[in-house]
Structure 1
Amino acid sequence: MKICPNCKYKNTEDAHFCENCGHSLENINLDTQIIPSASKQKKSINQHSKIFIALFSVIAAMLIGGLFFGNYYYNYHRQMNRIADAFEAGDSEKLTKMVISGEEDYQISSKKLDRLVDYYQLSSHEKNFTDFIESLRTNQVELQDFNIKQTGRYFGLFKKYQLELLPVYLKISTDQAGTEIFLDGKKQGTSKGDDYLLTLGPLTPGRYELSGRLEGQENQANLDLVRYKNNDFEKNSNVHLDLHRISFKVTSNIDGAQVYLDDEAVATIDEGFAEINDYVWHQGLTLELRYQLDDEELKTSSRRIDDDEYLAEDYEANDLQSMITLDFSEVQTSNDVQNFLTELYDDLSDYTSEYVTFETPQKNDFGKYFVNARENSDEQDFEKFINEIRDDNGRNRVKAQPEVESVTMTLENQYTVQYLIHYDTVFNDRNLDEIKQVFRYKQATLKYNTEDGQLQIDNLGGIENFETVDEGS
């Protein structure tokens, strides 16, 4: 064939003019024409195809990998876990990207979210915070202060979830004109009549300090304006300021325990009681006792004081109506220790008599008064003492009576006890007078066995904590 030099059209071998453009083909030398071979054309096509297929495969793999990663990273549970992680870390700055406002008049900021984070970092809310984090991760319990919202898509593909924060409102009423109202130390207003109502908000859920001031009297309260696991939310959100005073007596089973009204320590239990005089009452006022041990703090149950209780003008120190009893659970009192020691020394007195059997069963029963039973070194000394009296032909028996002087709780279920022991030695010869002796154990350690529900002697403090008060002379 002849290839037109003008338009490259392929003409028949005997053509004199190009059938496509009319160009003369007379001078075309068929021997010198270069016609691409089919194999070269095919090879070129194959190379381009391979490059295209390779590029397509890489792009497809990247897209598929991106989809898999996106489905993994942006799935609902992992987004909730990242929000939970930010709460656990107390990272309010990060939370601003994860939380949106549930109201137009309320704007999210890290400073505002700090209040909610600070609320959950209080030791009294530790359990609720753990539950809140678990609720975020599992979505098994309503969050109450938040809604979970889909707010768009990442890269137009993966659903984006954020927490919608529901702000709170505080309604404050008073029937006392001229009452100044403060929230977190900032004055919010002054009541102008006998039926005054002030609404504050929208506010971030959290703890707020509300105070009212009237003619030198001040009423202050901490309000937990959080919905999640807070049965007092409605009551705390609707506060009536009433600046009357209350007086009462608190009794408890641990001397040295601190008396708390809300989170303020106001008195200490001494000789079983403490008096609270002329304390300004506020709505939601709660009473609680706390006792600090070496490694932990014990607390009683919380007691709410209502507005018509314990009015100062009605207070009488010895009136049962003016008393509140708050005991620590499973705490042993001086009476409990006295009863325990009395029972122990009664058995000891009986066993010193030769008319009472003191064999292995009795020794095992006696060992129950001690930690580690008969392996306890003090228990072994008691057995030795009992046997010495029984083997002495001159002594008939010993009568022993304990007298508790002080009990101090040093650890949970552990007590340091100081007590006297009165020994009265009776002789077989009735012509001999009884010998009365008094000794003191200054630092005996007792433990409360929670499984058996009884006290036991751990140790009596050693010879350095034992003294003679009256040797019988």
Structure 2
Amino acid sequence: MNRLAHLKLNTHLFATDLGDLGAGEFFCPNCGAPITAADQKCPNCHFDLVAYRQQTTGEPADNKPASEVAKKKITQTAATDKQKAADSANNVATSAADILSEINSEENPEEIFKKLKAASTQIAAEEPKLTPKKGESVASSAMESRRVTHALDKTKDISDLVDQVRAVSNDQEQAKIASSSAAEDKAQQAPALKTDQPVKKTVKPKATEDSQAPVKRPIAKKLEQPAEPVKDDSQAISATETAQKGSKPTTNEKKTNPEEKVQRSSNAKKQRSLRTWLGVLIALIIVLLIAFFWGKAHYSRQAQLDRTFTALATEKPSTVSDVMVSSNKNLTLNLGNSRPFVRYLRANKNYLATSKKQLKTDSKTTDGTLSFVKTGRTFIFDKYQLEIKPIYRLIKTDIPSPSIYLDGQNMTAKKENTVQKIGPFIPGKYTLTVTGETQNKTLKRTAYPTFLAADAQTIDLTLKPVAPVIQSNVADGQVYVNNEKKGDLKNGQLKLNSLTWQPDLKVVVKKTVDSKTYQSKAATISKNSDGQTIDASLPQFLTTTKAQNSLEQLYKTVSSETHGQNKSYQTNQQLANYFTQGASADWYSRLNKFIQQAQMPTSNIDYTDFAVKVNQVQAQSLTDATVNFDVTYTTHYLASSGKQPRIQTFRYTTAHLKTTNGTTKIVDLGSSEQKIADNNANS
């Protein structure tokens, strides 16, 4: 709707508004019949107009409806209106109809306003002079005259409305310039601009010289200036009609053809689609960034190393075989062949911590067993794998065709040889068994080695039979070889038959006394110990060394008393101290008699030496023991006799020694004296 149509509509509404006529001036405020200013009572209803005019001050009456009180009362006299119309007629030559016909809807609004104002002035100047027609009463003629006066009065409002519309238009133009960029964007997308809330504006009307008070004319609503000139008069909607229908703000809508609507809809869909795809793209980028940084941390070398060693710490063969791979394609890890490595981890608790510390900075451990290497990629991240180095070993024996078993699995080579190569197998703790036939005997040797990459490559598993004699200082006891019982002592001895030698072969003797078990120190059985005697004495009992020392002290004292300078020897208290019964002991008497015979002048003996050798000690208890020993007598004669030294050896097998509070004394040297050697000198 163009501005001309909008203006016409507004002026029409104001011209038909009863309140603009001025209640009590031209129409009866009681019945609404036309009246004149000189009427004291209404010709129709006889309403007292004088009293009414005295009570009113120009404001609308309280009993008037709101639709009739849109503007203030205008007090103008008909004479003043006619005088102004006459003055305007002198300056305007063109009729009001001609002026209005020249108005073009496409003209500048200012030009339209000027023409409308000129038309209103021309109409006032062309006021007709009504005279009563023939046969018409004076009252009817006066009534028609008032109607014409009313019409002329309304034409003046056109001029006022032009000024008001221009003011409203200027206000809206300023509001449009001051609007924000966001409002402009929204206005471009909307099909038409919407009006703001209606704004009431009061315009003071022109006052005549006869007016006693200024007359106020209310404007219906303030119109919002449209963004562009409206071109279609058929779509004109006045602010007053809008307010009467729903008291809603007026909206000047811009006409849009169907193609523009389709184009706008298409553009809106494209924008929504673009925003949707842009949102999806941003979300995808965020997800990818989160996944990237999570993966970067999760698949870092350190994180993979931590997870691998956490799995190894479970010490479960199934888990260990899952997190490790063999560096040799000939060996595939599984539940079975991973057990030796698990056994090694259980026996060496610090191995994992040490290996992990080394692999943090190096690609392999110092022993070369484990390596942490890059084997590929997981997505875009490096993949690391723990590799274990399989090992081979050489098994050496002294028989040509041994059978070799590793954890019960036969590893024997097809080619017979004293040295055989086994592998590959995973490092760890194993049970290694070798069997073979030699000297019509079946030999078996078992070892429990730990194989690591840095260990020696050759293992000596010599199969050699040995039969040592185990002798102890106890008469009876149990013999154990590498914690395996081999037999019982008899008279303090046991010969081990069918024993296969191996390194670190150890033998111990155990004896139980009063429910308490005593054990000898471990003695080593060497490869060359076949037929040899191995001592396995218990230190808690009388040992061979203690017995040897006690007997040597005894015979040393006897030897010193046989020297020639001791001719006056009768008794020796020192000799008696070696016996538990002192001088009353039987063997004290025997030795004392031997000394006395050696000192006789007729014996020609200068002195006698004794050499003691303890053969065996058989302890019956912690205090008492039977001793088997040899004594060699060497008798030296005087030089004047011309005799040679005589050497004789005697064996005593039933000597009884007793230990009390750490001191060992002789109870008896026994009755079984046997000469086992004699040089028979001087015979």
Smaller-chain TM-score bracket: 0.3 to 0.5
Per the normalisation by structure 2, the TM-score is 0.33
Name the one with the larger helix percent. 2
Name the one with the larger strand percent. 1
Task: Give the number of the structure whose alpha-carbon radius of gyration is greater.
Answer: 2
